[in-house]
Structure 1
Amino acid sequence: MRFLITLTLLCALVPLPSFGHAWLKLKIATTEYAPYTSTEMQHDGYINHIIADAFLETGVVVEFVSMSWEDALEAAKSGEYDAVSYGNFVRAREDEFFHSEPITAESLVFYVNKNAGPENWRELSDLSEHKMGVTDGYLYNDELASYIQAGSNIVKNSDDDTNLRALIQGDIDVFPIDELTGWYLLERDYSNAERNKVMAIKPFISTVTTHLLIPKGQSDSQLILALFNKGLESLTLEGKLTRFKRLLKEGYYQHPQKKVNFDRR
């Protein structure tokens, strides 16, 4: 109880955001999964921009260090890093990590080949006559994961880009991916003619929430979680999360030289 009272008071009294007056610096392990996280993008990607600004709201600055997903999780658990950016909500991970409040909520959808894929679906069994590409190692929801494991129409590929290429070429008919990632990859790597060969269909499969992952068992884990959640709440109330999403759609993170009105509401 004393710890919680101290934590609450500390969160209420933290300094105003300023790089020059930061009272705490954190190291966060991150991965290459554009547009959410990427060393090749402005602010290390869309999600990392939100994370850095949320911490800055509480007078905390962060340093992102990029590595593989598996290394990021292990390094954070061993205490080398204060958090991992980012992870979808996975209940099985709660034994080892705190999930922050949701940073974003994204739709997991089916992209289809316009000529060969279905126009819509209601049950996964509706897709049994269509070749479905999936990305090896991706964590799908339980229902879709069970369907993939049992299905005879499944084609596994190593990454999302390979699946999108296969979808455009007609080697597969259907591909589940979160809608924002699908949009970003299609905009980044494909021509208008290629993009016109695919589309997202309704309904969406599920809603996926993104989170900062803070390893449990560290002395300051709950403090870091509380600070981040407080800063994230401030960004939400200020309308900045909506603005950051708009900036992504306008190409700011991909092309930082592009002139956009960063501060408009």
Structure 2
Amino acid sequence: MIPLNLHADEKETVVRLTSGHWPPYMEYNPPHFGVISRIVTLAFAKQDTPVTYGFFPWSRALMLAEKGLWDGSVAWTCRPEMIRSFFFSDPIVAHHYVLFHRTSMDFDWGRVVDLESYRIGLTQDYNYGETFEEAVAAGTINAEKTTSDIANFRKLAAGRIDLFPMEPAVGIKMLRELGLEDKITFHSTPLQSDYLYLILSRRVPDNERYLKEFNNGLSELRESGRLESLIDSSLPDLPVRYLVVEDEGSTCGE
């Protein structure tokens, strides 16, 4: 586990959230621990509620929150099977996956069926959208899973896979750090479009109250324009079309 970021005296009641290292959205580097962590902290601060983060592998982050050992986790897409275990907040930011490929490869696609002839790298515990996931389960998509986004980008650069779905802002940052930004690019058509949410465990008695506090604080950030400003300034390389989802009224329902 990465050491926690304590934002308050330990005698105070603190909302304890698990997370994973997925910059620029969530990261274990201070002072803000990624743009989504910063938004979550600011939204709770509107209600004078402090927050602390613990960073884990994603599967462990979800398990600790689901069991109520931690209060919740940031940030996740809406999955129907998770609603039984978690309260989902109002949507925080738009989220997309696009298909990264080698710049030397002539690639175009429009439907999932178009991807059947490619070797596709996936990362364990990620959700790539219902249609794509069903094709993987049916075996019509040739998919190879690893536990690491970095490993998938290296496999892509080496020609061991043809495509890798990844969130564009995360992918751009990772490729720069790996020195692969000239070798790998991405197709503009999203594989999946959704939102990212704060999730709070249904096993923690105070979490319905914390959910209301967070949603109220998030609404204040949105109405003041601070939310949009934070997202725009933190994701300067992300094309505008990826800052929204077509159905702006979408939420993760009960």
Interval containing the TM-score (normalised by the shorter chain): 0.7 to 0.9
Percent identity over paired residues? 23
TM-score by structure 1 length?
Answer: 0.77
Distance in 2 between residues matched to 1:41 and 1:140, nearest whole Å: 29
Matched, 1:201 2:187: yes
Tell me what 2:216 maps to: 230
**Post-superposition offset of 1:250:** 5.4
Pairing partner for 1:57 from 36, 46, 58? 46
SS of 1:43's equivalent in the other structure is coil
Pairing partner for 1:84 from 64, 73, 83? 73
In the TM superposition, what are the counterparts of 1:35-50 in structure 2 within 5 Å? Answer: 35-50=24-39
Distance in 1 between residues matched to 2:106 and 2:136, nearest whole Å: 17
SS of 2:229's equivalent in the other structure is helix
SS of 1:224's equivalent in the other structure is helix
Range that drifts further, 92-101 or 122-131 = 122-131
Tell me what 1:140 maps to: 128
Pairing partner for 2:116 from 128, 140, 156? 128
Change in 2 beyond 3 A, CA 1:176/1:70: closer
Change in 2 beyond 3 A, CA 1:167/1:68: closer
Structure 2 gap ranges (5+): 1-7, 238-254
Tell me what 2:205 maps to: 219
Change in 2 beyond 3 A, CA 1:232/1:59: same
Pairing partner for 1:96 from 59, 63, 85? 85
Distance in 2 between residues matched to 1:216 and 1:161, nearest whole Å: 33
Residues 208-265 of structure 1, C-alpha deviation per residue, up to 9 Å, x if partnerless?
21111111143212110000000111111122222222332359xxxxxxxxxxxxxx
Structure 1 gap ranges (5+): 1-18, 252-265
Q: Give the paired residue count.
A: 229
In the TM superposition, what are the counterparts of 1:4-43 in structure 2 within 5 Å? Answer: 24-43=13-32
Which amino acid letter does the alignment assign opposite residue 213 of structure 1? I
TM-score by structure 2 length?
Answer: 0.80
2:23, 2:170 within 8 Å by CA — same for their partners in 1?
yes
Which amino acid letter does the alignment assign opposite residue 127 of structure 2? L
Change in 2 beyond 3 A, CA 1:43/1:158: same
**Post-superposition offset of 1:174:** 1.3
Residues 103-135 of structure 1, C-alpha deviation per residue, up to 9 Å, x if partnerless?
1111211111122241x2112222223222222
Pairing partner for 1:245 from 231, 247, 251? 231
Distance in 1 between residues matched to 2:229 and 2:97, nearest whole Å: 22
Change in 2 beyond 3 A, CA 1:133/1:29: closer
1:117, 1:130 within 8 Å by CA — same for their partners in 2?
no
Distance in 1 between residues matched to 2:132 and 2:175, nearest whole Å: 23
Change in 2 beyond 3 A, CA 1:237/1:173: same
1:108, 1:178 within 8 Å by CA — same for their partners in 2?
yes
SS of 1:122's equivalent in the other structure is coil
SS of 1:28's equivalent in the other structure is strand
Structure ID, larger Rg: 1
SS of 2:14's equivalent in the other structure is strand
- Which structure has the highest helix share of the two? 1
1:121, 1:202 within 8 Å by CA — same for their partners in 2?
no
Residues 23-56 of structure 1, C-alpha deviation per residue, up to 9 Å, x if partnerless?
8532222222322222125311221111001101
Structure 1 runs of 4+ aligned residues shifted over 6 Å read none
SS of 2:83's equivalent in the other structure is helix
SS of 1:223's equivalent in the other structure is helix
Distance in 2 between residues matched to 1:63 and 1:152, nearest whole Å: 40
